[in-house]
Amino acid sequence: MVSDAEARDPGNSASWTPEGTGQVIDGVHYHQFDIVIVGAGGAGMRAAIEAGPHAKTAVISKLYPTRSHTGAAQGGMAAALANVEEDNWEWHTFDTVKGGDYLVDQDAAEILAKEAIDAVIDLENMGLPFNRTPEGKIDQRRFGGHTRDHGKAPVRRACYAADRTGHMILQTLFQNCVKLGINFFNEYYVLDLVMTEVDGVKKPSGVVAYELSTGELHVFQAKAVIFATGGFGKIYKTTSNAHTLTGDGVGIVWRKGLPLEDMEFFQFHPTGLAGLGILLTEGARGEGAILRNASGERFMERYAPTIKDLAPRDIVARCMVQEVAEGRGAGPHKDYVLLDCTHLGAEVLETKLPDITEFARTYLGVDPVVEPVPVMPTAHYAMGGIPTNVRAEVLSDNTTVVPGLYAAGECACVSVHGSNRLGTNSLLDINVFGKRAGNNAVEYVKTAEFVPLPDDPAREIRELVQRLSTSDGTERIASIRRELQEEMDKNAQVFRTDESLAQVTETIHGLRERYKNIVVQDKGKRFNTDLLEAIELGFLLDLAEVVVYSARNRKESRGGHMRDDYPKRDDENYMKHTMAYLTGDPHSADAGDHIRLDTKPVVVTNYQPMERKY
C-alpha cells in the first residue's frame, strides 16, 4: 500500500494505476495524464485530436461530448476557398479586423484567415459532409460582414452543412477522437485549477473535478492543462446559449488571480426567436432572407446600404432595437421585427435551412415558408475571456505566459474577434486555435516535468461542496439566477449607460449577499444537479460583475459594447484591450475593492482604424 505522499509524487510512477482508474486516497480519486483538456466541444476535441496520438491525454466534460454547445452552431465556417467566387485570405483578415471594430489583434486575425483553408480541408478529410457545388466542391454562402475587395461587395465565404454545421463538426470531431482512443471523462465537472509555485513561477499541476454520477472528487495531475469550456451566455435571460454555458472555466481562471480580457464585449445575435432567444442562423440572411419592420420596410437599407441585412451582427442588432424603440416594431406590443424568408421558397428552406424552419414552426407556431418570423437580438457570444497569445498559451499579464496552461475557443480571448465577432468565425476559431493548443501542449510536455501537487489538492472544492450540501438557508438558487439574468437583460444588453450599469452593479452586490444564504435542497450524492447549479450560480455572479465593471469603465461605443451616453468610438482613449484582475474579496460591498482594471495594446499590422461603413 503506497502512502499519500508517494501517491502524489509524480516521480514515483509505480504508485499510479492505469489511466482511467486512479489511485483513491481519503475518498479522492487521483489520475495522471500528460495533457488534460477541460471541455469536449469543438475546441477541446480539436485539441485532443492533435494531442492524443503524441501524449497521454484526458478530456474532461460536464456533458456527453456530442451534447456540447458547438452542436448548436448553425450557419457555417469561414474560409477563403474561392470555390464559388473570387476570394482570398487577406480580404478575410480585413473583414475580421473591420468587423471587430479594429480592436482585433491583427497578427491573430492573419493566422485565423490563413489557416482557415487547411482547417476546412482537415474537417473534410475527417469525413464532414459539407454541402457541395454541382462540381463536387465544398459549397459556400454569404454571411454578415464578409466581403470581397476590402468591403466592396458581399462574398460567398461560409462553408456549411445545411444549417447544422456545428452539429456536423461536433459529430465529426467526436468520431475521430473515438477512432484515436482518446480518454473521455464524461459528466465530470471541473471546479478548480490546481496551481503550484516552482522556482517563483506558478504552473498548473492539475485540476479537480466532481463526478456527477457518484458525487466523488477526482484530481487529475497533468503537465499541461487546456481550457476549452465555452462561453457564459447564461448571465443573460434571453440567450441562444445552452443552460450549461455558465462560464465555469473562465470563472475558475478568474478566481486563481489570472486576468480576463475584454469582458465588456458581448455579442447579441440579431435573429433570436422573439421572446425566446432560440437562434435562427445568419445563414438565412446569407441565403437572401430580409429583415422588415411593421410596415414591411427593409430597414437595413437605411443603415447599411452596401450590404444591407448582411452587416456585422453588432450593427444589425442595434438597428433592430432602434426600429422597435422608435415605434416601428411589429406585433401586438410592437416589440420585435420580422425575418422574411417567404420569397426563398419551400425548397431552399427545407433543404438549406431545415432546422430554423422547424424551430419557427415548433416554438412560435410560425411557418417561414408562408409568413415572416418574429425576431429580436439574443445574447450569443462572449468576445472576451481568458487572455492568450497566438500559441493559445494563457497569459498572467500582457505578455507573461503561464507555462503549461492553454485556452481555446469561446472561453479564450486571443483576441481574434475584437469587439464584435463575425459570423462563421467562431467555428473557425475553435478549429484553428484548438489545433494550435493541442500541438503546442504536446511540444511543451515533451520536455516538461510533472509539477508536484499540494498535500490536499481537493481541499477547497471538498469544503465548498460540503458547505453547500449542508446549507440550510432560505434563498432559492433559481430565484437569484432569474433576477441576475433579468437585470442583465434590462440594463446591460445591446444598449448601456453609466446609470443602467450602476444599477446592475448594485443588484449583483445584493444578489451576492443573498447567495450566502442559499439552500441546496437535494442532499444526495448521485446526479445532484441542484448542488452544481449552486456552484454555477457563483460563477455567473462573478462573470456578470466583471462584464458590467469593464463596461462601465469603457466610456465609448465599439462593436458589441454600445454606450448611449458615449455613442462614438474613441480611438484616442480606448483603442486598447481591457484587462481585469481580481485583487480582493468578491463579497466586498464595493466592486472597486476587488477588481482592478488595466489595459493591453492592440496589435496593428496592416489596417489602421477607420470609420466602419457598409
Residue 19's pLDDT is what?
46
In the predicted structure, residue 188 carries a pLDDT above the cut 90: yes
Q: Which pLDDT score is estimated for 614?
A: 85
- 149 shares a domain with 78: yes
Which amino acid is it at 273? L
- Residue 493 DSSP symbol: S
Is the same domain home to 541 and 581? no
- Rounded to whole angstroms, the Cα distance separating 223 from 206 reads 8
Same domain, 330 and 417: no
Which residue matches cell numbers 509539477?
A: 451
Residue 559 falls in which region: left (phi positive, over 0), alpha (psi -120 to 50) or beta: left
Distance CA 484, CA 247 (A): 15
| pLDDT band for position 59 (cuts 50, 70, 90) | very high
pLDDT category, 6, cuts 50, 70, 90? Answer: very low
Q: Is residue 98 exposed (0-12), middle (13-18) or buried (19+ Cβ within 10 Å)?
A: buried
Q: What is the pLDDT of residue 26?
A: 86
- Within 10 angstroms of residue 547's Cβ, the number of other Cβ atoms is 28
Residue 604 has pLDDT above 90, yes or no: yes
Taking alpha carbons only, the member of 40, 39, 35, 30 closest to residue 56 is 35
Q: Is position 153 annotated in a ligand binding site? A: no
Does the pLDDT at position 17 exceed 60? no
555 lies in the same domain as 584: no
**Range 393-414 average pLDDT:** 97
| Domain-embedded: residue 15 | no
State yes or no: 238 annotated in a binding site.
no
Q: Is 438 annotated as a binding residue?
A: no
pLDDT by residue (tens digit) across 137-165? 999 999 989 999 998 999 999 999 999 99
Number of domains in the chain: 3
396 is in an annotated binding site: no
The band of 1, judged by pLDDT with boundaries at 50, 70 and 90, is very low
Residue 24 located in a structural domain: no
**Same domain as 487, residue 421:** no
Question: How distant, in Å, are the alpha carbons of 274, 571, 605 from that of 284?
Answer: 16, 34, 34
- Do 90 and 198 fall within a single domain? yes
Last residue of a domain, one of 328, 357, 378: 378
Residue 76 has pLDDT above 60, yes or no: yes
Report whether pLDDT(103) > 70: yes
pLDDT at 591 exceeding the cut of 90: no
Reported confidence tier of residue 10, pLDDT bands at 50, 70, 90: very low
For residues 436-463, average pLDDT: 96
In a domain, 22, yes or no: no
Please give the model's pTM, rounded to 2 decimal places.
Answer: 0.93
Residue 8 lies in a domain: no
Between these two residues, 148 and 13, which has the higher pLDDT value? 148
Residue 239 lies in a domain: yes
pLDDT tens string 201-234: 999 999 999 999 999 999 999 999 999 999 999 9
Given pLDDT bands bounded at 50, 70 and 90, which one contains residue 588? low
**Contact indicator for 80, 117 with CB cutoff of 8 Å:** yes
Q: Is the pLDDT of residue 578 over 60?
A: yes
Residue appearing with cell numbers 500541438:
439
Same domain, 147 and 245: yes
169-187 confidence digits (pLDDT tens): 999 999 999 999 999 999 9
Q: So what's the pLDDT on residue 293?
A: 96
Task: Clarify whether residues 351 and 449 are in a common domain.
Answer: no
* Residue 125: per-residue pLDDT: 97
Can you give the pLDDT at residue 587? 61
H/E element holding 91?
A: helix 89-99
Out of 357, 378, 399, a domain closes at 378
User: What average pLDDT does the segment 328-346 reach?
Assistant: 95
d(CA 149, CA 232): 35
23 inside domain: no
20 within a domain of the structure (yes/no): no
Quick one: which of 388, 363, 390, 387 has its CA closest to 374? 363
CB 576 within 8 A of CB 265: no
Domain harbouring 415, CATH code: 3.50.50.60
Query: Is there a binding annotation on residue 410?
Result: yes
341 lies in the same domain as 234: no
44 in a labelled binding site: yes
Q: Distance (Å, rounded) from C-alpha 225 to C-alpha 33? A: 10
Q: What angle do CA 413, 415, 416 make, to 5 degrees?
A: 115
The reply, when asked if residue 417 is annotated as ligand binding, is: no
Identify the domain containing residue 350 by its residue range: 273-378
586 lies in the same domain as 555? no
What is the average per-residue pLDDT within 289-306? 95
- Could you tell me if residue 188 is inside a domain? yes
Is 72 among the annotated ligand-binding positions?
yes
Residue 474 sits in a domain whose CATH number is 1.20.58.100
Buried (b) or exposed (e) across 478-499, using 16+ Cβ within 10 A?
eebbebbbebbbebbbbbbbee
User: In this structure, are residues 35 and 441 in contact, taking their beta carbons and an 8 Å threshold?
Assistant: yes
pLDDT value at residue 590: 56
| CATH at residue 310 | 3.90.700.10
Nearest Cα neighbor of 468 from 538, 543, 519 is 519
521 and 486 belong to one structural domain: yes
Is residue 599 pLDDT above 90, yes or no? yes
Collapse the DSSP code of 56 into the 3-class scheme (helix H, G, I; strand E, B; otherwise coil) and give the result: coil
DSSP state of 17: P
Query: So what's the pLDDT on residue 592?
Result: 53
Band of pLDDT at residue 548, cut at 50, 70 and 90: very high
Please list the active-site residues. 313
Same domain as 163, residue 279 = no
Q: Which of 346, 361, 378 is the C-terminal boundary of a domain?
A: 378
- State yes or no: 500 annotated in a binding site: no
Q: Is 43 annotated as a binding residue?
A: yes
